[in-house]
Amino acid sequence: MKTGAVTASFGALALLVVGPSLATADEPSVEALAYTCAGCHGTDGSSVGPSSPHIAGLKEDYFIDSMTAYKANERNSTIMNRIAKGYTDEQITAMAEYFATQKLRTASQKFDSVKAKRGAELHEKYCENCHEDGGRDASEGGTLAGQWMPYLEFSMADFKSGARRMTKKMEKKLQAATSENSDDVVDALIHFYVSQKQGSE
């Protein structure tokens, strides 16, 4: 968040020195930028599905890291690598701040309750340390609780195949979870996260 803080204070300084006209003269406002995301990610970043991920409530670091990785073709994507290249680092930081303050509203999805129960145990043992509060706390990683199932499946497939890089911590935990258990742990975890709704509809 260092970049964000620095930009924000420079912005404030500019306002003080030059007055408000400069700040808005040649740059779209953050709303003007963020509103363009709604057609795929939902109004204010809460997606109505069936697979585009929610981006409301994402932590700023995660949003910035994701967009920066897309921009550099370092994260597997269908369309986002093409879209991210349309924004400056400053615009990405501004959008990160915007979406971080939006309240996430997730919708009901079908899930297998036996798998979800098993997923809850696995989550507690292997994932809760970082993805706290049952995957609701998005401090370390994206939104898990209430995230759309196909998106979680795509993400895990990419992590497994190496198309998306995992942190060392996650790699270790995922390896432990798969080697210490004989069932499909990823599938169970996905069903658990899908079962965890957030916000009111």
Partner 1 sequence: MKKINRRDFACLGGAAAACGLTIGFPGVVRGAGRRVVVVGGGVGGCTAARYLRRMDPGVEVTLITAEPRYTACFMSNEVLSGERTLDSLTFGYEGLKKLGVQVLIDRVVGLDPVARKARTASGAILDFDACLVSPGVDFKWNSIEGYDEKASEIAPHAWSAGPQTIALRKQIEAMPDGGKVVIVAPRDPFKCPPGPYERASQIAMYCRHRKPKSKIVILDAKDTFSKQGLFVEGWTKLYGYGTDKSMIEWVSAANGGKVSAFDPTTRTVTTEFDKLQGNVVNIIPAQKAGKIAFEADLVDGDWCPVDKKTFESKRHRGIYVLGDACDAAKMPKSAYAANSQAKVAVAAIVARLKGREPGEASYVNTCYSIVGEEFGISVAGIYYLDAASNMIEPIKDSGGISPANASPEIRKREVSYAHSWLDNVIDDMLGGPA
| Cα 162 to Cα 62: distance, rounded to the nearest angstrom | 19
CB of 79 to partner 1, least distance (A): 5
Q: What angle do CA 82, 88, 92 make, to 5 degrees?
A: 85
CB of 125 to partner 1, least distance (A): 30
Question: What is the distance, to the nearest Å, from the Cα of residue 120 to the centroid of all Cα atoms in its chain?
Answer: 21
| Cα 66 to Cα 75: distance, rounded to the nearest angstrom | 8
Tell which positions 32-91 bind partner 1, by CB under 8 A. 32-33, 35-43, 47-52, 78-79, 82-87
Q: Quick one: 107 or 130, whose CB is closer to partner 1?
A: 107
Tell which positions 4-33 bind partner 1, by CB under 8 A. 24-29, 31-33
DSSP 129-185: TTSHHHHT--TTSS--TT--HHHHHHHHHHHHHTSSPPPHHHHHHHHHHHHH-SS-H
- Number of residues this chain uses to bind partner 1 (CB under 8 A): 36
Per-residue x/- track, 144-183, partner 1 (CB under 8 A): ----x-x---x--x--------------------------
Q: Quick one: 1 or 159, whose CB is closer to partner 1?
A: 159
CB of 151 to partner 1, least distance (A): 9
| Cα 89 to Cα 70: distance, rounded to the nearest angstrom | 12
Q: Quick one: 42 or 57, whose CB is closer to partner 1?
A: 42
Are 68 and 80 within 8 A, CB to CB? Answer: no
Q: Quick one: 78 or 179, whose CB is closer to partner 1?
A: 78
Q: Quick one: 73 or 129, whose CB is closer to partner 1?
A: 73
CB of 122 to partner 1, least distance (A): 25
Q: Quick one: 20 or 176, whose CB is closer to partner 1?
A: 20
Return phi, psi of residue 162, to 5°.
90, 0
| Cα 197 to Cα 149: distance, rounded to the nearest angstrom | 12
Contacts with partner 1 by CB under 8 A lie at: 24-29, 31-33, 35-43, 47-52, 78-79, 82-87, 148, 150, 154, 157
